[in-house]
Amino acid sequence: MTESLTVRRRDRVLAAMARRGLDALVLGRADNICYASGMQGLWTAGTRPFGAGCVVIAETRRTHVLSTWDAGLPETMTRADLYPLTWNPQIMARHLAAIDGFAESTLIGVDEVSPSFERAAKRIAPLSDIATADDLMAEVRRVKFDEEIECIDAACKVAWAGADAALEAPRNPAGAAIAAMARAGTTVPSSAPTILRAGDKTIIDLGVLLNGYEGGLGGTFIDGRRRAPPPLVDACRGGAGHTDLADAADGPWLVRGLGLGFEHPVLDPDHGHREVLKAGMVLSVSDGHHRDVIAVTDGPPRILSTRPATHPDSHAPAR
Amino acid sequence: MLLAMIVAAELPTCEVKRMCADRLARLRSGLDEQQVDAAVLLHGPNVTYATGFVPEAVDASHATYQRALAIVTEDRVRLHAHGRDAHEKTDGLDCEIGAPLWPELDDDTRAVRSALQEVAGDLAGRRIAVDSVTGAMERAGLYDDAQLVDANRVLGPARLIKTTDEVACIERSQFLTEWAMEPAREACVVGATRRDVAGVFLEALRGLGGDHNEIDPIFQPMPRSQRDGPYTASGSVAFPTGVGNPRYQAGDLVWVDSGHGCGGYASDYGRTWIVGREPSAAERSCFDRWLTITRACYDAIRPGVTLGDVARRAVAANGGTRPWLPYFYLAHGVGLESAEMPMIGTDLGEEFDDNFVLAPGMILVLEPVVWDDGVAGYRAEEIVVVTDDGNRILSSFPGYAPFDS
């Protein structure tokens, strides 16, 4: 990930804040924090309670991140932009109050609502109102920069290293996949690995995060070859809506944004009826056991989860 | 591996049904004490506590979108869960099972609202404990007429004291982590990278049946002096940074930390390794001091003593200075989360520690750090449970190789 990508992402966030009149944006979610600041914390599994992990100030155009050390600090930030870990809510309030511009905020956006944070924010910035801004972050992350698409492409290749290892492993295939993906670039999963063997078939679904960006694939393999993608994958083109996808789908399906993890839009049989796909979106497209990661264009989708050239993706016969 | 299986057979077992029933009873008495009408829970560990359902160990973004939701009242418990195997995992749980919900999505708030109303009735004027409210739920005004209470007030006291079944889960998690670390220690050699070693650990963990890794495992080569390491606000050494993929060189001092979940209950493994040689006399003396401090803590931990008492024993055993990283703690609890209460020696302050009294069923992960600037230091972790008359160590793997051999 280059510094210029960090800057362009932050600028998108600042532009969206300006449209909503937000003076400050307080982010608690690891993926949003990474998007706005370029800082990636240590990966841990599962949901996290809301806390002020990152503060973006419109006036100064600076991002401030909760971190006790400067390891992993992007060039766009300085040590002065960090506030250290604390277990004490009063100390945390002092840290936030010390951020240039925070105390004068009149409108503060948050990516999750927390009654206790709301009370604290009122004390630090007495003139402020709190507004939801999870949708602001979802909106700016929807369409990817080209460099983000290349990051996702690289992550998909790592997932393939895992799939190939799983197919060849006589036992503990999930362990073999994880070890192979570690050698190929990452020890961070995005989703739980699925590897099921039934007769001559192997069902695989793997997802990883590489430098923050997600990659993955899923499918039914026979003799080491993945079945051809279902029509849903090709239907994911710019301008396509819910009906187009529902008509193309065979099995249980889910089409969702993919970038720094799980993102918008989300379409499945019951959701996303008003969504329209747009060139530049990157999607995880699942139909039954098949899953591809694709970049939407105005023509046929660019499939990022194609098997790397070292292992030609010679498809097994379609279902 | 065979040996591991034999030892595993000796571990205490967890009776899931009993554990779920005990937890729910404790949660309900919390509702009663706080005069709360219903709890609506979206944070994974809280959902597990209420229902027994353990969400998959996936990235936070995935866990957040495809999140489980639990609604608990005096007489009902409803679980809405996602996941390929949600059906199998919810089979046999003593709760109502609802369809998956998407509380992150504006176009699912109608379904969330009806679920809340079906189980808890009209929320207007009622006291509702919540651990998280998504932007979509806020925009839909789901709680506009309710009085919200932080769910920690209900779940915090309940989760603080572990039942024997909960302790058994932690013990099993710790066992798996410890055994999977042995091949990783052997793989931590000159020329290997952090990812190589982590891959060996994670593969071994899977081989032992561990499918719930909760953290990107840490194998961090430490600077010998604070001056050589990353800047920290406290002026002390930085750990765990989780940054980069260092390649190990001869003599590297590697601090190790990882955790895995059984039934959702986390282990916490910490050790110090040395790459390619035996520890020097100076390094060994850091370890000896660490052992003295840890034994002093073992001696101190029993029902009725305060967190402050334990801290003072540790400081005394370290010649008067605090043997822990200033931004963390001497010890922390562990359970459905990898770091929870009780915490000893945090910046909550001495008064907090002096007012917090240990009771049977509390868990402490001791993680003293001995730092001798220029030599580096020694850090390891040990888990104990407070018993009726003292404490019991939950770690089962012997030794602190390469320091005690």
Final residue belonging to a domain, choices A106, A123, A142: A142
| Cβ–Cβ contact A78 with B under 8 A | no
- A113: tokens are 């609502």
Residue B267, number of CB atoms within 10 A of its CB: 29
Claim to verify: residue A76 and residue A159 sit in the same structural domain: no
Is A213 within a domain? yes
Instruction: Using a CB–CB cutoff of 8 Å, tell me whether A188 touches chain B.
Output: yes
| Domain, as residue range, for B383 | 164-393
The CA distance from A315 to the nearest CA of chain B, in Å, is 25
Do B168 and B154 share a domain, yes or no? no
Indicate which CATH number applies to the domain containing B168.
3.90.230.10
Q: Which of residues 133-152 of A touch B (CB under 8 A)?
A: 133-135
Residue with tokens 């176009």: B107
Q: What is the model's pLDDT at position B91?
A: 77
d(CA B281, CA B290): 14
Region of poorest pLDDT, from A217-221, B84-88, B148-152, B373-377: B84-88
Which of the listed residues A142, A167, A188 is the one where a domain comes to its end? A142
Instruction: Answer yes or no: do B131 and B272 share one domain.
Output: no
Q: Encoding tokens for residue A317? A: 């016969």
Q: Which of B47, B53, B62, B227 to mutate to test the interface with A (most CBs of A within 10 A)?
A: B62
- Whether A315 maps to a domain, the answer reads no
One domain for residues B120 and B200: no
What percentage of residues in chain A have a pLDDT greater than 70? 97
Residue B403 lies in a domain: no
Contact A192 B57 (CB under 8 A): yes
- What domain count does chain B have? 2
Taking the CA atoms of B149, B151, B154 and B156 in sequence, report the sign of the dihedral they define. negative
Q: What is the rounded CA–CA span in Å between residue B264 and residue B48?
A: 7
- Asked if residue B273 and residue B152 are part of one domain, the reply reads no
Same domain, A278 and A257: yes
Q: Say yes or no: A66 and A194 in one domain.
A: no
Count of alpha carbons within 13 Å of A174, Cβ hemisphere only?
23
Predicted local distance difference test score (pLDDT) of residue A273? 98
Q: Which residues, in sequence order, are bridge partners of residue A17?
A: none
**Alpha carbon separation from B357 to A73, B308, B348, B360 (Å, rounded):** 40, 9, 15, 10
Q: Are residues B127 and B215 in the same domain?
A: no
∠ CA B304-B48-B28, nearest 5°, is 60
pTM: 0.96
Domain-located, residue A25:
yes
Chain A hits for B135, Cβ within 8 Å = 110-113, 132-135
What tokens were used for A315? 């498809």
Nearest-by-Cβ selection for A46 from B63, B200, B347: B63
Query: Which of B102, B130, B159 is a domain's end point?
Result: B159
Pick the residue from chain A with its C-alpha nearest to B84.
A194
Average pLDDT, chain B: 95
Closest in B107, B195, B241 to A72, CB measured: B241
Query: Residue B145 carries which side chain, given as an amino acid letter?
Result: D
Residue A207 domain flag:
yes
Asked if residue A109 and residue A178 are part of one domain, the reply reads no
Helix (H, G, I), strand (E, B), or coil: what is residue A152? helix
Q: Is the pLDDT of residue A318 over 50?
A: no
Asked if pLDDT for residue B4 goes beyond 80, the answer is: no
Q: Are residues A200 and A280 in the same domain?
A: yes
CB distance B44–A71 less than 8 Å?
Answer: no
Alpha-carbon distances of A35 from A57, A213, B44, B123, B209, rounded to whole Å: 15, 10, 24, 36, 35
What residue in A sits closest to B344 (Cα-Cα)? A87
Does residue A314 form part of some domain?
A: no
What does the buried/exposed string (b/e) look like for A199-220 if buried means 16 or more CB atoms within 10 Å of the residue's CB? Answer: eeebbbbbbbbbebbbbbbbbb
Q: CB of A69 within 8 Å of any CB in chain B?
A: yes
Nearest by CB to B199, which of A187, A207, A270?
A187
Residue A301: pLDDT band (50, 70, 90) is very high
pLDDT surpassing 90 at residue B190: yes
Same domain, A131 and A164: no
Is residue B89 within 8 Å of B80, Cβ to Cβ?
no
Q: Are B44 and B150 within one domain? A: yes
What pLDDT is stored for residue A270 in this prediction?
96
| Cα(B326)–Cα(A230) distance, integer angstroms | 55
* B1 — pLDDT class (breaks 50, 70, 90): low
Count of domains forming chain A? 2
3-class DSSP state of A284: strand
- Contact between B200 and B215 (Cβ < 8 Å): no
**Residues of A with CB below 8 A from B327's CB?**
68, 84-86
Is residue A129 within 8 angstroms of chain B, CB to CB? Answer: no
Q: How far apart are CA A91 and CA B319, in angstroms?
A: 29
A94 in Cβ contact with A103 (< 8 Å) = no
Q: Nearest chain A Cα to B140, which residue? A: A132
Contact B105/A263, CB-based, under 8 Å?
Answer: no
pLDDT the model gives residue A311: 53
Question: A268 — alpha (psi -120 to 50), left (phi > 0) or beta?
Answer: beta
**Mutate which: A27, A69, A73, A171, vs B, most B CBs within 10 A:** A69
Per-residue pLDDT of B262-295, as tens digits, reads 999 999 999 999 999 999 999 999 999 999 999 9
**Confidence band, pLDDT 50/70/90 cuts, at residue B199:** very high
Does residue A30 lie in a domain region?
Answer: yes
B268 φ/ψ angles, rounded to the nearest 5 degrees: -150, 110
Residues in A closer than 8 angstroms to B105, CB to CB, are 266, 271
Residue A312 inside a domain? The answer is: no
A158 lies in the same domain as A287: yes
Comparing CB atoms, the residue among A87, A174, A214 nearest residue B346 is A87
Q: Are residues A150 and A255 in the same domain?
A: yes
pLDDT tens per residue, range A56-81: 999 999 999 999 999 999 999 999 99
Q: What percent of chain A has pLDDT over 90?
A: 92
Q: What residue in B sits closest to A177 (Cα-Cα)?
A: B203
- End-to-end alpha-carbon separation of chain A, Å? 39
Same domain? For B114 and B169 the reply is no
Contacts of A146 (CB under 8 A, 6+ apart): none
Which residues of A are less than 8 Å from B130 in CB distance? 115
Residue where one domain finishes, among candidates B159, B187, B205: B159
CA A60 → CA A39, A55, A81, A200, B191, distances in Å?
19, 11, 11, 60, 45
In a domain, residue B2? The reply is no
> Is the separation of the CB atoms in B132 and A114 below 8 Å?
yes
Whether A247 and A120 share a structural domain: no
| Cβ pair A56, A81 in contact under 8 A | no
**Domain end position, chosen among A142, A162, A186:** A142
What DSSP character marks residue A315?
P
pLDDT at A4: 93
- The Cα of A111 is separated from the nearest Cα of chain B by a number of Å equal to 7
Task: State whether B238 and A178 contact (CB < 8 Å).
Answer: no
The candidate with the shortest Cα–Cα distance to B201, out of B149, B137, B259, is B259
Q: Are B65 and B99 in a shared domain?
A: yes
What is the helix (H) or strand (E) element at residue A75, kind and residue range? Answer: none
Q: Tell me whether residue B124 is in a domain.
A: yes
Residues A171 and A278 in one domain: yes
Inter-chain contacts counted by CB atoms under 8 A, chains A and B = 213
If asked whether residues A73 and A210 sit together in one domain, one would say no
In a domain, B401, yes or no: no
A187 and B66 in contact by Cβ < 8 A?
no
Q: How do residues A244-297 score in pLDDT, each as one tens digit? A: 999 999 999 999 999 999 999 999 999 999 999 999 999 999 999 999 999 999
Using the predicted structure, report yes or no on whether residue A145 has a pLDDT greater than 70.
yes
Question: What is the dihedral angle through the alpha carbons of A23, A28, A29, A32, rounded to the nearest 10 degrees?
Answer: 20
Whether residue B41 sits in one domain with residue B168? no
Claim to verify: residue A197 and residue A279 sit in the same structural domain:
yes
Three state DSSP letters for chain B:
CHHHHHHHHCCCCCCHHHHHHHHHHHHHHHHHHCCCCEEEECCHHHHHHHHCCCCCCCCHHHHHHCCCEEEEECCCEEEECCCCCHHHHHCCCCCEEECCCCCCCHHHHHHHHHHHHHHHCCCCCCEEEECCECHHHHHCCCCCCCEEEECHHHHHHHHHCCCHHHHHHHHHHHHHHHHHHHHHHHHCCCCCEHHHHHHHHHHHHHHCCCCCECECCEEEECCCCHHHCCCECCCCCCCCCCCCCCECCCCCEEEEEECEEECCEECCEEEEEECCCCCCHHHHHHHHHHHHHHHHHHHHCCCCCEHHHHHHHHHHHCCCCCCCCCCCCCEEECCCCCCEEEEECCCCCHHHHHHCECCCCCEEEECCEEEECCCEEEECEEEEEECCCCEEECCCCCCCCCCCC
Which residue segment(s) compose the domain that A125 sits in? Answer: 3-142
CATH classification at residue B111: 3.40.350.10
Single out the residue in B96, B127, B159 at which a domain terminates.
B159
Are B294 and B326 contained in the same domain? yes
Q: Please answer whether residues B333 and B367 qualify as being in contact, where contact means their C-beta atoms are separated by less than 8 angstroms.
A: no
Residues B271 and B212 in one domain: yes
Query: Using the beta-carbon criterion (under 8 Å), do B233 and A192 form an inter-chain contact?
Result: no
Please indicate, yes or no, if residue A297 is contained in any of the structural domains. yes
Question: Residue B399 domain-assigned?
Answer: no
Distance separating alpha carbons of residues A254 and A242, to the nearest angstrom: 11
- Both B153 and B285 in one domain: the answer is no
Which A residues in the span 150-169 are in contact with B, Cβ-Cβ below 8 Å? none
Structure ipTM? 0.96
Give contacts of B243 with chain A, Cβ < 8 Å: 71-72
Minimal Cα distance from A134: which residue of B?
A: B135
- Quick one: A303 exposed, middle or buried, by C-beta within 10 A (0-12, 13-18, 19+)? buried
CATH of the domain at A225: 3.90.230.10
* CATH number of the domain that residue A122 is part of: 3.40.350.10
User: Cis peptide before A231, with omega less than 30 degrees from 0?
Assistant: no
